[in-house]
């Protein structure tokens, strides 16, 4: 049977074992969230040997050349010597600069130790005391001197439990930066832009909206937030300055069915959708049925659950 080695820890596993499961079963405590190759919480580095990788395109070429793999997407067919992602060694340190609560949503602002390059709409893995979780960025590079995240802490969770105890000045480590489907393309400049968010899905769409306005978007912009508090309403409304055609609508969860059925996007609309998987799927399906082509709809669904490191 194939042998896995992590530091001085050696153990054998059945052939074709999932690498993530094999490591966790052996007590190596590799965190994960989505198990789909999206969140990048389960990074491991192959020092000797190469596992079978079902999703090689999920990592950038330079990462793969350095030996990094997503354990959830790999199976074991031969001996491997591995190194786990260590946030103290591999992560970027950042200090908590602001903590604000909007009901059960925590707006967390971090200042990294060194400049951190990213694009609006991306997400990255946050590490705190051995717990890892991916979160979308709500800040705008080049304008904000902090990284902003919105954490939905309504449900118990390992990282949310850590977040509730955070204080200004505490350290959080930044892990893998990941580009999702959400972004702004300057070629959309004169087209209707629809941003549809559920819950904290408004966070990355806020960053994308600000990027669109920074680039001088000329088409009408419509923002819908499906949430009972719509905690960013005033912030978004204040962006409507000058000749910008920007409208914000708060949709309570009790209005969901009516809202969904009434969506009728103009033919040239570009739509960005973010939130929980079920409602993102429903919104995407509705937009397609209403006449938008798949190339006009960009969706990013949040992952839930997972394990801690």
140 found inside a domain = yes
Cα separation, 139 vs 141, whole angstroms: 7
Asked if 38 and 117 sit in the same domain, the reply is: no
Asked if 120 and 23 sit in the same domain, the reply is: no
pLDDT digits (tens, 9 = 90+) for 64-116: 999 999 999 999 999 999 999 888 888 999 999 999 999 999 999 999 998 88
207 found inside a domain = yes
What per-residue confidence (pLDDT) applies to 23?
A: 94
Q: Are strands 221-226 and 105-112 parallel, antiparallel or unpaired?
A: unpaired
Asked if 262 and 219 sit in the same domain, the reply is: yes
Which CATH number is 47's domain given? 3.10.20.30
Which CATH number is 138's domain given? 2.40.30.10
309 found inside a domain = no
What is the count of structural domains for the chain?
Answer: 3
The residue segments making up the domain with residue 41 are: 3-85
Is the predicted pLDDT of residue 44 greater than 90, yes or no? yes
What per-residue confidence (pLDDT) applies to 304?
A: 60
Is residue 257 within 8 Å of residue 279, measured between CB atoms? no
- pTM for the model: 0.87
Asked if 199 and 293 sit in the same domain, the reply is: yes
Residue 285: partners with Cβ closer than 8 Å, 6 or more residues away: none
Asked if 63 and 169 sit in the same domain, the reply is: no
168 found inside a domain = yes
238 found inside a domain = yes
What per-residue confidence (pLDDT) applies to 309?
A: 38
What per-residue confidence (pLDDT) applies to 277?
A: 92
308 found inside a domain = no
Last residue of a domain, one of 21, 56, 85: 85
Q: What is the number of other CB atoms lying within 10 angstroms of the CB of residue 260?
A: 17
Last residue of a domain, one of 50, 85, 120: 85
Percent of the chain with pLDDT over 70: 98
Is the predicted pLDDT of residue 305 greater than 80, yes or no? no
């Amino acid at each position: 049977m194939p042998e896995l080695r992590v530091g001085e820890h050696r153990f054998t596993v059945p052939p074709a074992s999932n690498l993530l499961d094999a490591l966790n079963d052996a007590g190596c405590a590799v965190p994960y969230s989505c198990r789909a190759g999206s969140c990048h919480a389960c990074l491991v580095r192959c020092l000797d040997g190469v596992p079978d990788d079902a999703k090689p395109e999920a990592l950038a070429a330079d990462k793969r050349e350095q030996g990094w793999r997503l354990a959830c997407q790999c199976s074991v067919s031969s001996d491997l010597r591995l190194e786990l992602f260590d946030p103290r060694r591999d992560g970027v340190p950042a200090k908590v600069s602001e903590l604000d609560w909007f009901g059960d949503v925590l707006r967390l602002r971090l200042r990294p130790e060194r400049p951190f390059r990213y694009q609006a709409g991306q997400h990255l893995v946050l590490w705190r005391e051995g717990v890892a979780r991916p979160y979308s960025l709500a800040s705008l590079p080049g304008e904000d001197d902090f990284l902003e995240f919105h954490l939905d802490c309504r449900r118990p969770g390992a990282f949310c439990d850590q977040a509730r105890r955070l204080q200004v000045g505490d350290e959080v480590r930044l892990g893998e930066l990941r580009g999702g489907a959400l972004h702004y393309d300057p070629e959309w400049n004169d087209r209707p832009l629809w941003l549809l968010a559920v819950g904290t899905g408004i966070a990355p769409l806020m960053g994308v909206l600000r990027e669109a306005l920074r680039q001088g978007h000329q088409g009408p912009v419509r923002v819908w937030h499906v949430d009972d508090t719509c905690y960013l309403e005033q912030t978004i409304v204040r962006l409507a300055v000058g000749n910008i055609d920007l409208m914000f609508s708060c949709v309570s969860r009790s209005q969901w069915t009516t809202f969904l059925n009434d969506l009728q996007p103009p033919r040239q609309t570009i739509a960005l959708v973010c939130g929980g998987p079920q409602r993102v799927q429903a919104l995407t399906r509705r937009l397609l049925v209403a006449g938008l082509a798949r190339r006009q709809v960009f969706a990013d669904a949040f992952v839930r659950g997972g394990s801690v490191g």
